[in-house]
Amino acid sequence: MPVERLRIGVLCSGRGSNLQAILDAARDPSYPARVAVVISDNPHAYAIQRAREHGVPAELILPASFPDRIQHDLAVAQRLEEHGVGLVALAGYMRIVSPQFIRRFPGRIMNIHPALLPSFPGLHAQKQAVLYGVKVSGVTVHLVDEGVDTGPIILQVPVMVADEDTEESLSARILEHEHRAYPDAIRLFAEGRIRIDGRRVYTKRS
């Protein structure tokens, strides 16, 4: 009997290139997870099209249809549960999820951030890195807690910053690494190779 793969719900607001990387990784039947649903808050998100082209259900849940942020989050949580997701992956989701949402998926929400946290949290991380003048930036995949980009770190990949880098050139280089890092982190989670102890995430070797 084939083993049921971990079902992921991916939340996206835009381009969806990280979603694409996850969809591509999951094409391999030996990859231990698959995308069960994509949910977006933005009707213009290209991510929706990517999901549909892949035959994955994509749902639009508009914040404007709800009285407040929490009600919107709870509607998203309900759809994720209805799709039986065991992991929620934020991939360019331009909303801060509420504590009420986080409590529905304890230890089961991941985010990818285009900098080496705790440096440069929040928006425009690549621009922050260029303006600050760091020589190394990178990618962080972390679990989501109630802060902004503060949760326990699963993995990080360093990316060198060159003198001639601009926000655009650095973003493009970091993005290439994001597309490997996110599927890698999801694999670790899906294979049960992650153990969390406070802020520290320990990874069992395969």
Q: Which 178-197 positions form the footprint of ligand GRF (CB under 6 A)? A: 178
Report the alpha-carbon distance of residue 206 to residue 204 in Å, rounded: 6
Distance in angstroms (rounded) separating the CA atoms of residues 68 and 174 = 34
Closest separation in Å from C-beta 179 to ligand GRF: 8
Shortest Å distance, C-beta 123 to ligand GRF: 9
First and final CA of the chain: distance in angstroms? 23
Tell me which residue has tokens 């231990």.
32
Do β-strands 87-90 and 109-113 pair in parallel, antiparallel, or remain unpaired? parallel
Q: Which residue minimizes CB distance to ligand GRF?
A: 92
Is residue 72 flagged as an active site residue?
A: no
b/e 37-51 (16+ beta carbons within 10 angstroms → b): bbbbbbeebbbbebb
Considering the complex, what minimum distance in angstroms separates the CB of residue 67 from ligand GRF? 27
Conformational region of residue 32, where left means phi above 0, alpha means psi within -120 to 50, and beta covers everything else: alpha
The site map against ligand GRF for 52-81 (x = CB under 6 A) is: ------------------------------
One symbol per residue from 6 to 45: x for binding ligand GRF (CB under 6 A), - otherwise; what is it?
------x-xxxxx---------------------------
What gap in Å lies between CA 113 and CA 78, rounded to an integer?
25
Closest distance to ligand GRF from the beta carbon of 64 (Å): 21
Shortest CB 54 distance to ligand GRF, Å: 15
Q: Does 91 bind ligand GRF (CB under 6 A)?
A: yes
Nearer to ligand GRF among residue 80 and residue 141 (C-beta): 141
Residue of 72, 113, 142, 179 marked active site: 113
Of 98-157, binders to ligand GRF (CB under 6 A) are 112-114
- Given the rule CB under 6 A, which residues bind ligand GRF? 12, 14-18, 91-92, 112-114, 175, 178
Residues annotated as part of the active site: 113
